Structure 1
């Protein structure tokens, strides 16, 4: 083994050991390995820079940034509506299909982030019975197209780097459809085995929110119970103000009228919940259109102390709309605009463009200004424009009118210029870790191929699986990728497994596509652990899950998924 090969193998072993046995972030491990390779002269600055500006990587970055606008559209409200009725199995089927379709055309991690709130707000079923199916459906949907998951685009980066033609947009679709169908057939019956954790408690719903029954609202003329306003999860209807008269407590058989002001107790997610109910206008609704929510605490030196929002002319003076107020766990009564503000009150606000510009005034008025992960929904017209723009970009790329990278860059620029997203959101969303991992991994993958290290590893695999033939090598590549995905992360698994699979194909003298597909689907086969795939990790704490919950539903899903993938790859991608 040459010195170059020894150094590359040492770096690979260090990365695997670090990923498995330490808590060091993958980005640091890969960046450190690339840095050592650069300092030792194995890779030059031009090659390193080229890997960090790979077209597939840039496409992935633009997709993640553009998803900030897609999450604000009424599409999320539509999915939320699908969860409002039906038995658990029916809801899982609807959630699974809609999540998979969304995940096939935008990054599946972004889809899960945007739908977690909708699942938590559903009125009928505990979120713990829906969140793991949500994550698994997003993983399955991510295999439908080239842009469905970051892993697919990363593997395409390796493909291009190896001098092969870029993968087609629908290259994995045929197998992806099969594993989606098989996966849903497992998820629907097995979802009943998931725990029923429901931590709803009125004591944990400290914010006061207000919404009014609009003229012509379908809620008017029906009782509170008929409108399901008593069955809202994490949102409690406390009072109704009618013609200046306060009605509390609110009886289930109370008939609502146009103009009624409904006072709710809820959490931050309740802002989006109320926006999704047809015929209900949130307090300050006319000034809300997709902005990120902020949380502020009223200072002792504030000029608004002792005043109501109306008296303080809050919107005029601060260019912001208050949508919720909290005062510890004290119960606040009366309309939102009539609550007298005190020091320490926490306000959830929707800021206008001029809010942040008033830095000195904000420091005097508020002790704390926090950005929240939640954002207000775009109105119907703006939602339609954002979705139509994204569909145009994808359609233009499929018809080969405009390259996907160019289309996404133009789309993001329009989103910024129109204010649908702002630079702050872009900065928060920029996937720095993914860029570091992919850029560094591309450099290491090139070194494995150029130094002959991957060929030596391929020869070792061929020796170990002597007698099993090329199909045995394909199974070994898939299982290696799957195990790495469960132990480390999907992106790291793809980076480590691709050079080996590619070299195996060269060693057997066959088309590399079956082995590329084995790595692609193996890197998305994370179903039995919360740590291998980012979507699994996202729902882990939200659903209060334990490791056994993933094993209970993930093990049968992994077996069905693997059987379908290994059975169908030779059919659609013959050797």
Structure 2
């Protein structure tokens, strides 16, 4: 609903500023964004829950919530009291929500594992099941959850290590390499102890598994994990460590908040541009030592700045090469018999579909020049078309990889790909109807 809501809004703002000489104001998106938000919330709260896991019913009974199965690896040590005994005698056969799926003994792999299979010191036991059961099993004498590093579950009790959960990003550098090859200990001060993948039972050694987008990693972390993970975008940490302080000194935090609100008010009133207001806010925070120069530098989102700069270049290329003009003419020619409203519906649908295939920012960069070329012939204000493109490019509801928040909840929520289609299709439709309707009424 605001210019700062997403990086996509800033990309559209930069393109509009480049094409028209005047970009979006801070609350320009509110006129369409507010109705979309209200309609979306009504749908999500009243109509979407029956479509999602844990609420769908069959023959009047609720579907049982699916537990998340993690793959974990335990090592049999010399003090294991049941060494040489069978799996059944060791009490590892009929565990609650936990299954022994493989035993590795040197280069030998034993799978499937029967109740009469014997266990010896040095064996590596691979279990799949709920993480609470795996953790309980790791408390048995002589069984150690293997991390492949000096970080261990034992350190959790001593307070030297912490247990954290993260979801692998679709743009992660972890993809295409095994857990071992990614060298978690050196890169993150962490060790992967278990992995969960939706709709698939993992098998094999933890270190030999190649992470995929949406995988949930359970990690034992060291003291420098939080600091290191901020420098990477390989996964989203979904289990924050305790309660974070507002600032080391609450008075410092409140001063920073007042400065930020003041900058927003300057922007809304039109007294300063967003660039000047934020530059002033940063200058005041540095002057009052609310942040250090090093902290300010680390907070700069160079990825977003490069994205906006690249978007301007790509947008100009699409315009100058006449590609945008050709696409606009073809689309308007095809939709001419059906009127402007249907043209806008088709344009919204094209952008919403494209954003599921590429990133939302890429969809905005590709389609805004086309939409801009359409706005003139149909008599629509360019700002209206910019708002339509911004909302359509952010309407990523149909797949777990459409947007990073979709992926964050994909694994921890136990969702399946079809859940996004089932709940996301109506939401995309409602978003499109409200957006097209509001843009047509206000900007035509």
Aligned mates of 1:562, 1:516 — CA distance in 2: 14
2:142 — aligned with what? none
2:350 — aligned with what? 480
1:444 — aligned with what? 314
Quick one: which of 326, 334, 349 aligns to 1:456? 326
Quick one: which of 151, 157, 161 aligns to 1:346? 161
Aligned CA RMSD, in angstroms, stands at 3.5
1:243 — aligned with what? none
Aligned mates of 1:449, 1:397 — CA distance in 2: 30
Match of 1:154, SS state, is helix
Residue 542 of structure 1, CA deviation: 3.9
Aligned mates of 1:549, 1:418 — CA distance in 2: 49
2:390 — aligned with what? 520
Between structures 1 and 2, the one with greater helix share: 1
Contact 2:162–2:222 under 8 Å retained in 1: no
Match of 1:497, SS state, is helix
Aligned mates of 2:379, 2:152 — CA distance in 1: 71
1:533 matched to 2:424? The reply is: no
Quick one: which of 298, 303, 306 aligns to 1:433? 303
Match of 1:467, SS state, is helix
Quick one: which of 389, 410, 413 aligns to 1:543? 413
Residue 391 of structure 1, CA deviation: 0.9
Deviation per CA, 1:158-199: give whole Å up to 9, x if none. Answer: 111112432222212122111111111111132353445677
Contact 1:151–1:491 under 8 Å retained in 2: yes
Deviation per CA, 1:379-429: give whole Å up to 9, x if none. Answer: 543433232221111012112333321222232344456665556655555
Quick one: which of 34, 37, 43 aligns to 1:186? 43
Counting matched residue pairs gives: 283
2:216 — aligned with what? none
Kindly tell me: are residues 412 and 197 of structure 1, through their superposed partners in 2, closer, same or farther at Cα, counting changes over 3 Å?
A: farther
Gaps of 5+ in 2: 55-64, 73-149, 164-220, 230-239
1:569 matched to 2:427? The reply is: no
Contact 2:18–2:312 under 8 Å retained in 1: yes
1:370 matched to 2:224? The reply is: yes
Match of 1:162, SS state, is helix
Contact 2:66–2:414 under 8 Å retained in 1: yes
Contact 1:146–1:153 under 8 Å retained in 2: yes
Within a 5 Å distance, the mapping from 1:274-285 to structure 2 comes to: none
Aligned mates of 2:162, 2:401 — CA distance in 1: 35
Quick one: which of 377, 392, 416 aligns to 2:262? 392
Kindly tell me: are residues 327 and 498 of structure 1, through their superposed partners in 2, closer, same or farther at Cα, counting changes over 3 Å?
A: closer
Within a 5 Å distance, the mapping from 1:25-44 to structure 2 comes to: none
2:154 — aligned with what? 329
2:273 — aligned with what? 403
Residue 502 of structure 1, CA deviation: 0.9
Match of 1:377, SS state, is coil
Contact 1:482–1:526 under 8 Å retained in 2: yes
2:28 — aligned with what? 171
Residue 371 of structure 1, CA deviation: 3.5
Within a 5 Å distance, the mapping from 1:141-220 to structure 2 comes to: 144-189=1-46, 190-191=48-49, 193-195=52-54, 196=65
Contact 1:459–1:507 under 8 Å retained in 2: no
Q: TM-score w.r.t. structure 2 length?
A: 0.56
Match of 2:271, SS state, is coil
Q: TM-score w.r.t. structure 1 length?
A: 0.44
Quick one: which of 401, 426, 429 aligns to 1:556? 426
Kindly tell me: are residues 182 and 510 of structure 1, through their superposed partners in 2, closer, same or farther at Cα, counting changes over 3 Å?
A: closer
Kindly tell me: are residues 534 and 422 of structure 1, through their superposed partners in 2, closer, same or farther at Cα, counting changes over 3 Å?
A: farther
Aligned mates of 2:378, 2:268 — CA distance in 1: 33
Deviation per CA, 1:228-260: give whole Å up to 9, x if none. Answer: xxxxxxxxxxxxxxxxxxxxxxxxxxxxxxxxx
Match of 2:224, SS state, is strand
Kindly tell me: are residues 483 and 393 of structure 1, through their superposed partners in 2, closer, same or farther at Cα, counting changes over 3 Å?
A: same
Contact 1:478–1:519 under 8 Å retained in 2: yes
Deviation per CA, 1:466-504: give whole Å up to 9, x if none. Answer: 312333332222111111111111110100000111111
Contact 2:3–2:25 under 8 Å retained in 1: yes
Deviation per CA, 1:67-115: give whole Å up to 9, x if none. Answer: xxxxxxxxxxxxxxxxxxxxxxxxxxxxxxxxxxxxxxxxxxxxxxxxx
Contact 1:477–1:500 under 8 Å retained in 2: no
Within a 5 Å distance, the mapping from 1:410-429 to structure 2 comes to: 410-415=280-285, 421=291, 426=296, 429=299
Deviation per CA, 1:324-360: give whole Å up to 9, x if none. Answer: xx9633784xxxxxx7x9xxx4389xxxxxxxxxxxx
Gaps of 5+ in 1: 1-143, 204-299, 301-325, 333-338, 349-366
